[in-house]
């Protein structure tokens, strides 16, 4: 059985579906600070099994001890955490407590229970502003926000744990920009308030919830001047976790891999692709650069391909079609 922390959230829920499809039993632990309990019912439908759900916090050691004592858990996929870069600047302690202390509490409880297989949601943000693209795993790491530093710190903690106790099997997965949703339209990303990220914002413009998109800068040194990112379909990302788990079972040790497509698309490329998917124009205005943004970021995904035999399969159009289906489902009050 696999414990999925943050399994009611965006990436965790899609990974639960991939795990269940591969025949794994799962149990979700989530404190619902950024998700809703009704996701679990929809997850059970998609997984074809009653998904066990525990509402609780990864920082609650006694609860974790009980969880590990009462379920035959063999591995932990750790998605739980806070992820808003801007918020982390204003509330650094909340971020270090949730993301760093939370990971330490969880690892410590695993150690007490002698469960030593751990997959961590890291981020391309650990590369800061890269000197060049594509980005490979040996690029220097840097962080520009408390959120980014919390990811760096947990990456370092995991390396120390792997060094001290080589029987641990640990994956540090550096996600690029996850977008899209499950093709059923039953699960997806449903941010609270004004979306920070591009794709959910564009989807809300398409559904009439927002008037227009602000394109944060068109004077970057990129082909059309707007920021370029490596957008990856969340189902591909979910499948990357399965591949990483298989690798850990085969090889053990400490694995660090990028999960991206290896292709970069600009903000205007994304707007164009979404227009094709929803069949209508997306209004936008060019605005000033967003502080802290970088020009371009995309992965060198070759290590994941070599070591895991995994590569992203779903293209930009499918990302947008699936995101649009999900957005319509939210607008009808169905999902989210
Ligand atoms: P999300 O907010 O949708 O999911 C995180 C889930 O964790 C939520 O359901 C939330 O309620 C839960 N949670 C938060 N703190 C918790 C705690 N202390 N105890 C128990 N549950 C808690 O976010 P997501 O987009 O699915 O991201 C999952 C992970 O991937 C995060 O660690 C995030 O930093 C990382 N990541 C995300 C992105 C992205 O663009 N979405 C990119 C790189 C890395
Ligand atoms: N972006 C934008 N308008 C928005 C949100 C994002 O122009 O309302 C741009 C942003 O400047 C970046 C790209 O879209 O170039 C991806 O931004 P996102 O916040 O989704 O991801 P990240 O910056 O974390 O890579």
**Does the pLDDT at position 46 exceed 90?**
yes
**Yes or no: domain 2-182+231-260+300-313 corresponds to CATH 3.40.50.720:** yes
Q: What is the pLDDT of residue 49?
A: 86
Residues labelled as active-site residues: 147
Which residues, 6 or more positions from 314, have their beta carbon under 8 angstroms from its beta carbon? 180, 233, 235, 236
The answer, yes or no, to whether any atom of ligand 2 lies below 6 A from the CB of 200, is: no
Which tens digit of pLDDT belongs to each residue from 95-147?
999 999 999 999 999 999 999 999 999 999 999 999 999 999 999 999 989 99
pLDDT tens, 15-43? Answer: 999 999 999 999 999 999 999 999 999 99
Nearest bound ligand to the CA of residue 12: 1
For residue 127, the CA-to-ligand 1 centroid distance in Å is 19
DSSP state of 181: -
Confidence class for position 157, pLDDT limits 50, 70, 90: very high
Whether the pLDDT of residue 336 is over 70: the answer is no
Q: Measured from the CA of 227, which atom of ligand 2 is nearest?
A: 15
pLDDT digits (tens, 9 = 90+) for 68-78: 999 999 999 99
Contact assessment for residue 266 and residue 226, using Cβ atoms and an 8 Å cutoff: yes
Averaged pLDDT for residues 246-274? 98
Q: What is the mean pLDDT of residues 55-78?
A: 98
DSSP 56: -
- Domain locations along the chain: 2-182+231-260+300-313
DSSP state, residue 98: I
Question: Is the distance from the beta carbon of residue 144 to the nearest atom of ligand 2 less than 6 Å?
Answer: no
């Amino acid at each position: 059985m696999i414990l999925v922390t943050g399994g009611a959230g965006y990436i965790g829920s899609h990974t639960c579906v991939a795990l269940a499809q591969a025949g794994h039993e799962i149990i979700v632990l989530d404190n619902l600070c950024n998700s809703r309990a009704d996701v679990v019912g929809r997850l059970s439908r998609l997984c074809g099994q009653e998904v066990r759900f525990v509402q609780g916090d990864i920082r609650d050691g006694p609860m974790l001890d009980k969880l590990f004592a009462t379920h035959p858990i063999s591995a932990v996929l750790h998605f739980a955490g806070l992820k808003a870069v801007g918020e982390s600047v204003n509330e650094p302690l909340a971020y270090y407590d949730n993301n760093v202390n939370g990971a330490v509490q969880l690892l410590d409880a695993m150690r007490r229970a002698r469960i030593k297989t751990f997959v961590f949601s890291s981020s391309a943000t650990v590369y800061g502003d890269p000197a060049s693209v594509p980005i490979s795993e040996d690029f220097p790491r840097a962080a520009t926000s408390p959120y980014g530093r919390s990811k760096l710190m947990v990456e370092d903690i995991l390396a120390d744990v792997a060094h001290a106790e080589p029987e641990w099997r640990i994956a540090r997965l550096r996600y690029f920009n996850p977008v899209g949703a499950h093709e059923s339209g039953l699960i997806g990303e449903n941010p609270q308030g004004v979306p920070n990220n591009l794709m959910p914002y564009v989807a809300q413009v398409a559904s009439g919830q927002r008037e227009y998109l602000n394109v944060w800068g068109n004077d970057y040194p990129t082909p059309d001047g707007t920021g370029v990112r490596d957008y990856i379909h969340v189902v591909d990302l979910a499948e990357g976790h399965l591949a990483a788990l298989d690798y850990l079972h085969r090889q053990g040790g400490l694995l660090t891999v990028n999960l991206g497509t290896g292709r970069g698309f600009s903000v205007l490329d994304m707007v164009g692709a979404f227009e094709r998917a929803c069949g209508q124009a997306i209004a936008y205005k060019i605005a000033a650069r967003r502080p802290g943004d970088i020009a371009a970021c995309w992965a060198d995904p070759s290590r994941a391909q070599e070591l895991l035999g995994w590569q992203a399969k779903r293209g930009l159009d499918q990302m947008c079609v699936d995101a649009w289906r999900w957005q319509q489902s939210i607008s009808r009050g169905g999902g989210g």
